[in-house]
Structure 1
Amino acid sequence: MMHMEGIHITVQAKSILSKILLLAPVLNLINGVRSERERERERERGASMADSTDGSSSFWTQANALFRKNLTFQRRNFKTNLRLVLFPVFLCLLLVSLQYLVNIELDKPSLKCGCTCIDQDGDGECERVCGIEYSDLDQVATCSIPSPPEWPPLLQVPAPQYRAVRTDRLLSFGDLPNDSCTSTGSCPTTVLMTGNNQSLGENLARNMFPGSSNFNSSNGLADVVLGSASETPVSNILEPAFFSSLPVYYVQSQCQANSTFSISVPVGSTKVEKEIRCVQGQHLWRNRSSDINNELYAGYKSGNSEKKINEILAGYDFMNSNVSNYNVIVWYNSTYKNDSGNIPLGLVRVPRSINWVSNVFLQLLLGPSTQMLFDFVKEMPKPETKLRLDFSSLLGPLFFTWVILQLFPIILTALVYEKQRNLRIMMKMHGLGDGPYLMISYAYFLAISLVYIFCFVVFGSVIANALHFIAGLKFFTLNDYSIQFVFYFIYINLQISLAFLVAALFSNVKTAAVVGYIIVFATGLVGVGFFQFFLEAASFPKHWIVVMDLYPGFSLYRGLYDFSQYAFTGNYMGTSGMRWGDLTDDHNGMGHVLITMIVEWVVVFFTAYYIDQVLTSGSGARNFFWHNLKSKPSSSFRKPSSSFKKPSLQRKGSKRVRVEQLVVEQDTSHAVVCDNLKKVYPGRDGNPEKIAVRGLSLALSQGECFGMLGPNGAGKTSFINMMIGLLKPSSGTAYVRGLDITSDMDGIYANMGVCPQHDLLWESLTGREHLLFYGRLKNLKGTALTQAVEESLKSVNLFNGGVADKQSGKYSGGMKRRLSVAISLIGDPKVVYMDEPSTGLDPASRNNLWNVVKRAKQNRAIILTTHSMEEAEHLCDRLGIFVDGSLQCVGNPNELKGRYGGSYVFTMTTSSNHEANVENLVKGLSPDAKKIYEISGTQKFEMPKEAIKIADVFRAVENAKSRFDVQAWGLADTTLEDVFIKVAQEAQPLDVLS
């Protein structure tokens, strides 16, 4: 029977209790001895900790702790770091392979000096002979030419289909021939003239085009105006006009029916025969120099066609020339000139244009018999060479920009990872200052970058020197290494500072990685397709180049571009690359780039530091500067920040008065004092503002564990975040060991421990390594550090079985939780915040963890949040129920149950036909009883304790069993859970700030 079992249990309980009372003196004596021993051990441990943690840790102690942690972390990620450092080596090997393939193509016979087999001695045996006379245009560049051939000087004569004619864009120039001549190839070639003296210009023009050519004169070809439409090479070893299928022209005023001749030009021991054709030349007068410019511009291109049309033979502006003054400007045909590089793709046939007009002027002054002959043009002698293309120098600006920029997303994601996982703020809350963090992190990234660049340059140079017969990576070896070192060193520092600045914009690693790599590839592509165009355009203003250099990616691209140009030129010409003296050259931008990057480095670094301080501290610019300009941070209490005119409950008012008194008296015996702490979140998207914490006043003594209970959204997390420095209070403040949370968080962090709701751990570090790091941050050293770590591991059951030396990423959820608790207690912090510390633990581990917390609270104050009533009752000296941003009640568990739980809960289960009988039974016991539950014959009632006696309940139930069937019944006291639910339901939301 239900009641008999209850009586039996009660008797047993009384029997056991009587025995315990008899043994109480002995137990008290034993417990007294044990307690004294435990207190002695705690005093010794506290003294040891005090000696080890003499105040907050110094800058170098924090830097040492972070350095050791980072060193362990990077050693654990050795393979990843090795792949990163060797990435430039892989890229250089890729360049070697590409260069090798290119060299194979360049070593083909079709690109070597031409050879033939000749029987020179007449003995019938063929001997191999090589030379320019046996070479074509592709082969001649590699031949040995001790005595280059002499070539007649030529004009760049437009091809028949491109000669200037009237078009839709040139209708205003009616003296040009009709475009019908284009189809027959009979269009004349045009010379445009202008000047102040038109009669002088007309006289000169009439003498420019002879009526006939005399190839039998003693002057040879010097008095014949020759030209060609062929493409010009970079050298004049072989004149392509005499080797291509295009004709050589001679210019006359009128061409006769039989106007084709043949000429021969000696080349070595042979002669080159070439047919020359007549082309009609015409001169046209323009009134102004601007007219010639407009005509040239309008006829340069047609629509979207890339072919150059309406070309002129030459243009002359005689300006103020007269018989005693010769002053002329020459326009020349630059069809095959390329201004995109230091070396043009084609020579310009200008000398013949100048000699032509100068010769005509002399004939006007001294008569037609006077001539200034221009016999030939001749290239400089050259030895036999191999045709080589320095692939790395050509690809340098784009390829090497991508190589060096690869470090940017790696640094960026590493910084954002610590931000996303809240590891940075976790370290800060355990005493790591911003200075040591920035110094060690910056030094690590700088070291990785230097090793990366070192491998890049060294390996490229080794290949260039050791495998010069395979690959010509002259980009590294021709340019001065000291310039390269300065350039790379400055840029990687700028890149690291920029990564710190950009990291403030991201909170997700994947997003940061995607954006980082987009920046890498976009910078290279925009540099080669856009920025390089402006670098090579001689007419583009230089000051705009400097403005574009302000983007760090363009500064890098421009420096690499200059290196590649000097290396390519040096490799081609057989000279050295860039030297320090070259920085003063007009076309060298390296000097401007270095100055720009140095200035940006300093500006970006301090901007990144400023933004980091503003964001991580949660304060604005004004607070940041005020905090750094204060001569001495305040560590004493200030006056109370609020008046208490409208206390909603008397117990709240008394609590505030007590806190007010502690603040006025500057009582530092309390570990935590909250003075009217408030947090209001501003309204967004039309929603009203959210009041998270409403004027919280609370005092917490040393050695006390205070538990915060409350429903979700009550404001507990906002309160904790304000106390640990993640949020700034809207008003009011709090003091932790006399230090103000609004201004002295750095001092508070030195004596604070935090166990967050979510485990913030490095997955590749072991449990022991975590505790070593945080112990060093708390100024533990030597044997004290080792002993503290071992005791922490043992206390949370992570010491045995090799668990301590297993990476935390392999821990179960409960093991991670225990490690987080151990981290919060390492180094003897005086104030500890624990947010649901036993979440996810099995019953045995939870009970063990409770014992750890109970022992730990003897030397420190602990604020604990939990949803477990059992945990709160087991650990907390006082509890506070937090509802709608306010503490509704504060007290120890027994006080709360006594204050809010003054009732019994009576439960009885019967058939549904007897529910009314049960109600009558309860009303007979207590008229004030209240039904709180009813379903399928089971009913629950609340009965005031002062109105009933337990014996009366038993007698009433016994009598009821004789009248109707009672299936089950029970009588229970109020639990803490009942108190929590009752307080939460009774609390009314506050409409205004109290």
Structure 2
Amino acid sequence: MANSPHGPASFWTQANALLRKNLTFQKRNIGTNIRLILFPLVLCLLLAIIQVLIDRELDKPENKCGCTCTRTQGGQCQERVCGIEYSDVDQAPTCPIPNPPEWPPLLQVPAPQYRAVQTDVFPFSEFPNESCRRTGSCPVTMLFTGNNQTFGEILSGNMFTNTFSINNSDIVGSVASNVVGSESATELTNFLEPAFFSGLPIYNLQNQCTQNSTISIPIQRSNITSPQEVRCAQVLNIWRNSSSEVNNELYQGYRRANTERQINEIVAAYDLLDSNRNNLNVSIWYNSTQANDTGFGSIGLVRVPRSVNLVSSAFLQFLLGPGTKMIFEFVKEMPKPETPINFDLSSVLGALFFSWVILQLFTVVLTSLVYEKQEKLRIMMKMHGLGDGPYWIISYGYFLAVSAIYMLCFVIFGSLIGLKFFTLNDYSIQFVFYFIYINLQISLAFLSASMFSNVKTATVIANIGVFGTGLLGGFLFQYFVQDTSFPGAWIVVMELYPGFALYRGLYEFAQSSFNGDTLGTNGMRWGDLNDSTNGMKEVLIIMLVEWVMVLFVAYYVDQVLSSGKSPLFFLKGFQRKSSSSFRKPSIQRQGSKVFVQMEKPDVIQEREKVEQLLLEPTTSHAIICDDLKKVYPGRDGNPEKFAVRGLSLALPRGECFGMLGPNGAGKTSFINMMIGLTKPTSGTAFVQGLDIRNDMDGIYTSMGVCPQHDLLWGTLTGREHLLFYGRLKNLKGSALTQAVEESLKNVNLFHGGVADKQAKKYSGGMKRRLSVAISLIGDPSVVYMDEPSTGLDPASRKSLWNVVRRAKQDRAIILTTHSMEEAEILCDRLGIFVDGSLQCIGNPTELKARYGGSFVFTMTTSSDNESEVEKLVRQLSPNAKKVYHISGTQKFELPKDEIRIADVFRTVGTAKSNFPVFAWGLVNTTLEDVFIKVAQGAQAFNTLS
């Protein structure tokens, strides 16, 4: 196989060419890049500004620790004292508390309407009738089990008394000496016990309640004393035979209240295990369903200490008598300094907003890939030798670098302006998470690009996906993540969608930064990934596995769809290559029509030449087409379409072959098969000895193409286009520079700064000349030119013809054109193509001699003398044929063997004396006449057939 003098470009040479082109393209689109990076920066800045406004609002005096004026003078406050005793519930969290208040220990007690009663769920006789809920008199239930029922019943009886005593001099202390509980939700701290500030009653748990069992006690709230209602709640101690029964009953007692809060109808349960007089061994189930859930994973304090104290005190009474009691005086918080009110907006909104920021990259990558596909730039690069390996390595690395820079700017800027979302969480975890996801996102974009052929469609659908994913994540997926009753397996299934995996990771970062900011601790660290409630580990694993799988599938789909390979291309080494065989003229059907291929002698001779070349391989012919056919299947009830019908053609080096034919004749279908855009239905072609069915990658290394429509990057200059394609053809250094300059000069794009203007500023003719220069750069052995002179002015066309004439000296060129003048000047041989078949083949002189054995006589007179003109022509040639007639102008074909030119001049001279002759002419047959004659004859035959 003879290649370009420079040899095929290596993998890294091709990669270097594409990388340089991409960097230049990126530099030209600096404005777009700036706008891209500004989006997350503006969003972060907006969050920072809103955060400042929120902080300023929270810093107002009415939102800080409460104060009171202790000394006034002249109506002006001279001295202010601040502290928790002057604060309301909302202000208290900000106060310094050197001596936290003491609160009686409480049990978590269900509200009367949620306490256990006899129902279908609890069909036990020990439970009261459901009617007690209407009167608010339902008892509170505690379950007991263990190995010794008698011992257990004694302990349960010792836990509660039948009286409620209050010492007015020590209200809190006397409340603590009793067993009290509350239905209120707890807070994160216990500086202010919600039971005494919620307006809800507290419950005194007793073995038996009297009729007048509701009292009011004075409680100090700030500097105001207000009554607190205390209601008696009877305790119902129930024994169960095993811990499994207790467990089932607790599970059945779990429910959701109409306020969407989680409720358990049972206060607590005790498993005394092997406890006896000498040993206290107990497991305690406690009610934590009313612990406050902030929505960010933080729960309030759990009222557990009292449950532990009750069983311990009951055991002491069992051992030492009823006068013995383990006193539990109070619970209190640790002292704390004054703290600001923290509300980190970036942590609250980060999962939603930042998912939009990151998903925006998907649209950028996808539209870039679809743009190359829509404008056929990918296939143009491929046809000039760019392999799939370099394309994937550089394109993937290019998008990865762009995405990494984008994310780096995003994180750095967010950190610099102080967003807790970034500053509190470990940067190494953020790096791993973002790195894995942008790789997954790029792989997904490559896969999605195979499904689109239009940039606008891809952009719209991608943007819908971006914003839809964020909204579904924020208002649906996050709800499932926060719902502890939702199966974790389904969460994992939902995270298989990459958008939800991204949202879950950002949500975990937001949780950690919110909690860290609220509690004054660090955000997420690597050790936190082992926490069962933290979903970051599973997200990282899912994204890593999907990255590898999606990248593999994307490459496979690209090879099958974009590169046109067989779905089993990876088994190519095990498949047998089909050999060429001779083919006899065949009968073809199209709908109800039958076509019998009646080939002309010159076409048959060309077919026989091809068969001989296939039997005796030689390197003298660059292109050999062997019975090449292309049939498009019928659709919507239409018959199948024969675009190319068994074309056989042999093209040696140094020859320019011109393909002529009317629109729709099949010329472009033939070119598309030769350059690998479509696969032949049957037959094949050999380019430099390589089969177009299996070896297009090798053919591309020595092929140049000037497509019918200019395939150019609008932001690259003419010189940059040629540098890129020259590098793909393995030109380097001074040889590359010289080849580019010569190409620019040959197509008249060198002077006047035209070479360094962006292609989008070129006129149509300048773009056409650049496309021709691209097809010839790097000395390809085979060149296809599809109407190369379209849109050129006469001077540029003549210059282009000179370029093609020089280029064909050492290469094979196939050229399609509608210009007969161009075909006659450039082409060594011509083939006229009609309805997918080659009708004739030969050099222009042969064709004119073969199909043009006549002169064309034209005369223009007045309308009254038209009959005299026709008589005159009949005298010259009885077999003359009128081919044109309009308003006194008539055109005739005169067989050459019937006339002499001198007779024509003599007859016209005589006619001028008889009637006025305005104009007349006698010309030999032109190539255009041959073309029309052959095309009309072939179409008429097909119509009759």
Letter in 1 for 2:176: A
Equivalence for 2:591: none
Unaligned stretches of 5+ residues in structure 1: 1-48, 465-472
Corresponding residue to 1:590 among 517, 523, 536: 536
For residue 158 of structure 1, report the CA deviation from its aligned partner: 5.2
**Map 1:195-234 → 2, pairs under 5 A:** 210-216=161-167, 220-234=174-188
Equivalence for 2:590: none
Q: 1:259 to 1:237 in 2, by over 3 A?
A: same
Equivalence for 1:572: 518
Q: 1:717 to 1:145 in 2, by over 3 A?
A: same
CA RMSD of aligned residues (A): 3.7
**Normalised TM-score (structure 2):** 0.88
- Show CA shifts across 1:454-475 (max 9, x none): 21222222233xxxxxxxx232
SS of the equivalent of 2:174 reads coil
Q: 1:739 to 1:224 in 2, by over 3 A?
A: same
Corresponding residue to 2:234 among 281, 289, 303: 281
Letter in 1 for 2:36: L
For residue 259 of structure 1, report the CA deviation from its aligned partner: 4.1
SS of the equivalent of 1:375 reads coil
For residue 756 of structure 1, report the CA deviation from its aligned partner: 0.8
- Measured in 2, the distance between the counterparts of 1:274 and 1:734 equals 101
- Show CA shifts across 1:546-573 (max 9, x none): 4433322233223223323233333333
Decide whether the 8 Å contact of 2:498 with 2:543 is kept in 1.
yes
- Measured in 2, the distance between the counterparts of 1:135 and 1:376 equals 22
Q: 1:321 to 1:275 in 2, by over 3 A?
A: farther
Equivalence for 1:152: 104
SS of the equivalent of 2:890 reads strand
- Measured in 1, the distance between the counterparts of 2:77 and 2:515 equals 43
Q: Which of 484-493 and 951-960 deviates more?
A: 951-960
Equivalence for 1:130: 82
Q: 1:171 to 1:595 in 2, by over 3 A?
A: closer
Equivalence for 1:491: 437
Equivalence for 1:648: 598
SS of the equivalent of 1:377 reads coil
Equivalence for 1:349: 303
Decide whether the 8 Å contact of 1:613 with 1:624 is kept in 2.
no
- Measured in 2, the distance between the counterparts of 1:586 and 1:943 equals 98
Decide whether the 8 Å contact of 1:450 with 1:489 is kept in 2.
yes
Q: Which of 197-206 and 902-911 deviates more?
A: 197-206
1:607 aligns with 2:559: no
Decide whether the 8 Å contact of 1:722 with 1:729 is kept in 2.
yes
Q: 1:815 to 1:241 in 2, by over 3 A?
A: same
Give the length in aligned residue pairs. Answer: 917
Q: 1:189 to 1:367 in 2, by over 3 A?
A: farther
Letter in 2 for 1:109: P
SS of the equivalent of 1:406 reads helix
**Map 1:472-551 → 2, pairs under 5 A:** 473-551=419-497
Equivalence for 1:187: 136
Decide whether the 8 Å contact of 2:250 with 2:264 is kept in 1.
no
For residue 422 of structure 1, report the CA deviation from its aligned partner: 0.8
SS of the equivalent of 2:80 reads strand
For residue 710 of structure 1, report the CA deviation from its aligned partner: 0.7
For residue 417 of structure 1, report the CA deviation from its aligned partner: 0.9
- Measured in 2, the distance between the counterparts of 1:739 and 1:209 equals 97
**Map 1:56-455 → 2, pairs under 5 A:** 56-118=8-70, 127-157=79-109, 186-192=135-141, 210-216=161-167, 220-251=174-205, 253-257=208-212, 259-264=214-219, 274-281=227-234, 283=236, 296=253, 300-301=256-257, 305-306=258-259, 312=265, 314=267, 316=269, 330=285, 332=287, 334-338=289-293, 340-344=295-299, 346-353=300-307, 355=309, 368-455=322-409
Decide whether the 8 Å contact of 1:708 with 1:863 is kept in 2.
yes
**Normalised TM-score (structure 1):** 0.84
Letter in 2 for 1:66: L
Q: Which of 755-764 and 444-453 deviates more?
A: 444-453
Decide whether the 8 Å contact of 1:144 with 1:383 is kept in 2.
yes
- Measured in 2, the distance between the counterparts of 1:590 and 1:290 equals 31
- Measured in 2, the distance between the counterparts of 1:323 and 1:602 equals 61
- Show CA shifts across 1:683-717 (max 9, x none): 33333322211111111122211110111111111
Corresponding residue to 1:664 among 595, 606, 615: 615
SS of the equivalent of 1:220 reads helix
1:621 aligns with 2:567: yes
For residue 887 of structure 1, report the CA deviation from its aligned partner: 0.7
For residue 323 of structure 1, report the CA deviation from its aligned partner: 7.8
1:798 aligns with 2:749: yes
Q: Which of 448-457 and 541-550 deviates more?
A: 541-550
For residue 661 of structure 1, report the CA deviation from its aligned partner: 1.2
Q: Which of 747-756 and 546-555 deviates more?
A: 546-555
- Measured in 2, the distance between the counterparts of 1:984 and 1:410 equals 49
SS of the equivalent of 1:887 reads strand
Letter in 2 for 1:278: R
SS of the equivalent of 1:955 reads helix
Equivalence for 2:594: none
SS of the equivalent of 2:662 reads coil
- Measured in 1, the distance between the counterparts of 2:89 and 2:896 equals 116
Corresponding residue to 1:559 among 498, 502, 505: 505
Equivalence for 1:27: none
Letter in 2 for 1:945: K
Corresponding residue to 2:703 among 730, 752, 756: 752
SS of the equivalent of 2:217 reads strand
Decide whether the 8 Å contact of 1:429 with 1:724 is kept in 2.
yes
SS of the equivalent of 2:767 reads helix
For residue 811 of structure 1, report the CA deviation from its aligned partner: 0.9
Q: 1:925 to 1:425 in 2, by over 3 A?
A: same
SS of the equivalent of 1:221 reads helix
- Measured in 1, the distance between the counterparts of 2:549 and 2:136 equals 63
Equivalence for 2:927: 976
- Measured in 2, the distance between the counterparts of 1:251 and 1:594 equals 50
1:869 aligns with 2:820: yes
Decide whether the 8 Å contact of 2:110 with 2:267 is kept in 1.
no
Letter in 2 for 1:261: S
Decide whether the 8 Å contact of 2:863 with 2:887 is kept in 1.
yes
Q: Which of 478-487 and 963-972 deviates more?
A: 963-972
Corresponding residue to 1:787 among 707, 719, 738: 738
Corresponding residue to 2:413 among 451, 459, 481: 459
Letter in 2 for 1:941: F
Equivalence for 1:897: 848
For residue 342 of structure 1, report the CA deviation from its aligned partner: 3.1
Decide whether the 8 Å contact of 1:342 with 1:565 is kept in 2.
yes
Letter in 2 for 1:593: V
- Measured in 1, the distance between the counterparts of 2:262 and 2:548 equals 53
Equivalence for 1:34: none
- Measured in 2, the distance between the counterparts of 1:284 and 1:834 equals 97
Letter in 2 for 1:314: V
Q: 1:290 to 1:236 in 2, by over 3 A?
A: closer
For residue 276 of structure 1, report the CA deviation from its aligned partner: 2.8
SS of the equivalent of 2:639 reads coil
- Measured in 2, the distance between the counterparts of 1:61 and 1:307 equals 65
Unaligned stretches of 5+ residues in structure 2: 587-596
SS of the equivalent of 2:932 reads helix
Decide whether the 8 Å contact of 2:184 with 2:290 is kept in 1.
no
Decide whether the 8 Å contact of 1:644 with 1:653 is kept in 2.
no
- Measured in 2, the distance between the counterparts of 1:100 and 1:212 equals 55
Decide whether the 8 Å contact of 1:910 with 1:937 is kept in 2.
yes
Identity %: 63
- Show CA shifts across 1:882-933 (max 9, x none): 0111110011112111111112233344455554444333333222222333
